[in-house]
Amino acid sequence: MDFTVEYEPTPGEVVRGLERALKHQLKALIWLFPAFLVVFGVVFLLLGNIGIGVGLLVAAIVVPFVIPWSLRRTARKQVPYLCVPTTLHVTDDGYESRSEKLTTDVRWSLFSRVVVTPEFWLFFVNKQATGFLPRNAFTPEQQAQLDARLAPLTNPPA
């Protein structure tokens, strides 16, 4: 595998890619934090501390809406750096992304896990989201080659 593509990500793609990567990274927090708030809200209510108990229960309802909003807000800050004409050079060893503002050279061996979505390949080192590649930057044949190359990382050993 050795091909080069020219691509300019849209702001929507960048926000969706980063948001999805961060959601995968923070999956446990997104579910556990509201549960934690509910449990402690109930505990405080049972202890007679109504104000704190109700506050924690309200926070448990609000947090699931605030986290995605916060992720989108964080992702939007990256748009000026990533929504520029970019050259992606992909090989069996890794990929290089070059633009006027940023150049990265990454080996596939760096990643411990790859999450494949219909729109992106999301890259992780341990549980940390490190980046993504948009599928629509590549032809169907190139996508198939990338899927085959990244397959061992989509279901890494535990």
pLDDT digits (tens, 9 = 90+) for 2-37: 999 999 988 888 888 888 887 777 777 777 888 999
* 125 found inside a domain: yes
pTM of the predicted protein model? 0.73
The reply to whether 61 and 95 lie within a common domain is no
* Helices 11-25, 50-76: inter-axial angle, 10-degree rounding: 140
pLDDT digits (tens, 9 = 90+) for 137-154: 999 999 999 999 999 998
* 141 found inside a domain: yes
Boundary residue ending a domain (61, 76, 91): 76
